[in-house]
Structure 1
Amino acid sequence: MPANRPAMPRELERRILVEAGHRCAIPTCRATLVEIAHIEPWCKVLKHEFENLIALCPNCHTLFGRGKIDRKAMYEYKARLSPFSTAYMASHPHHIPLLAQCAHFRFLCEEYLKELLRRQEAVFSGASAEEVKKLATQDVGAFANFLLLTLDLKSQVPEYLYEIMLAIFWHLAEWGDALNEPDLAKSNHKRDIRDELADAWLKLDHEIHNVVEGRPTPLPSEAGG
């Protein structure tokens, strides 16, 4: 590594490894000895970003560096690591209903999160109590949709997947409750809720891959731990 290149944050490195299941991201390889590569070269981006990083074995990393694997293909391999990508769904048609349910859960979670972040910003910027109350009323609909889907999924997805989903729901709901208390809302302003949920999303994606590809899955009691 060049002397002037900053070390990759350990947490970011861990996220990349978890995303790929601690294996090479090239589907025909899947070697377990891996290193992390920049898809767009470091000299161009000059920063470490999750979207531009991928786990590769030393051999595939070398082939990529020599141009034997092109950048477009590498982006496709990165996309396939998400169980919600079009390419992944197309290659697993029998599991599209499950993947669609999980994608819907993620979408409604994101919609509710957007409303909460809007209200959090209003509280922190000194908006009037009336304005904050109005925003709180607006996010009730997003919360209701998120809640109803979460309850409905209990009978539709494997139990260990549902435990992870439920943990995500409660984490976000409890954070939303804190916004109802002005003092708590202000003290929580610097919290990065997306970052707090990142591990849970990666864990959920990993377990969805296990289900779809028929890999061993954890006991229900192990899934949420």
Structure 2
Amino acid sequence: MLQYKANLSPFSPYALAAHPDHIDFLTAYQKLRVFIEMSLTAVSAFQAAEQRGSSASELQRGLQAIEKATKEAWYAEFCFCTVAPKGMGKLSNQILNASVTRACKVLGRPVPTAFLEAGPVSDDFPAIWEDLHHEMHEVLNRPAPRTVKVMPTPPILVDEVVNKNGCASGY
């Protein structure tokens, strides 16, 4: 029974073998989940450090962790949107907007205008993730369209891309 349930996961070897055209799509989805979770974890850690009355240097490290995780989440969401159908891109954008809004609230900073223009943000992460997960299964039950691989093979950090291109960093 446990093996049967494990095979239901879209990331199981069985699912990947059954849907080889969806590997880039599934990889992008997994990266999105990981980096959004890292961002939310960094925000929670900062909030806990602030409540403990931590030193200014520890709080500064917490701010840097939030900034880095948010950049990575933004990049993961961008990569996901390049390989996902339109409706799923909207859901992933809602998740990113909710995580940025949560970070801004904890930090006492205004939400960047780019995120405000997206419209009202739901703070119900489980419901949005559930909708996205449901859409994932819908896509996996259809044949995959041919996609262009846009994500680099070795994992890289957004800062490395920004520095190579000489662009200013920021999200």
Per the shorter chain, which TM-score range? 0.5 to 0.7
Alignment of 1:1-225 (within 5 A): 74-181=1-108, 196-214=124-142
| Count of residues paired in the alignment | 130
Contact kept, 8 Å, 1:120 with 1:179, in 2: the verdict is yes
TM-score by length of 2: 0.66
Instruction: Report SS of the residue matched to 1:155.
Output: helix
1:95-114 CA-partner distances (Å, limit 9, x unpaired)? 11111111111121122222
Q: Which runs of 5+ in 1 are unaligned?
A: 1-73, 183-194, 216-225
Contact kept, 8 Å, 2:81 with 2:88, in 1: the verdict is no
Amino acid at match of 1:213: N
TM-score by length of 1: 0.52
* Shift >4 Å, 4+ stretches: none
Residues 80/160 of structure 1: CA separation in 2 closer, same or farther (3 Å cut): farther
Residues 164/110 of structure 1: CA separation in 2 closer, same or farther (3 Å cut): same
Amino acid at match of 1:103: Q
Give the structure with the larger helix fraction: 2
Write the distance in 2 (CA, Å) between the matches of 1:214 and 1:123: 47
1:27-81 CA-partner distances (Å, limit 9, x unpaired)? xxxxxxxxxxxxxxxxxxxxxxxxxxxxxxxxxxxxxxxxxxxxxxx22232233
Q: Which runs of 5+ in 2 are unaligned?
A: 110-122, 144-171
Between stretches 79-88 and 143-152, larger displacement belongs to 79-88
Amino acid at match of 1:181: G
Aligned to 1:10: none
RCO greater where, 1 or 2, for CA within 8 Å and sep 6 or more?
A: 2
Write the distance in 1 (CA, Å) between the matches of 2:2 and 2:142: 25
Residue identity over aligned pairs, in percent, reads: 26
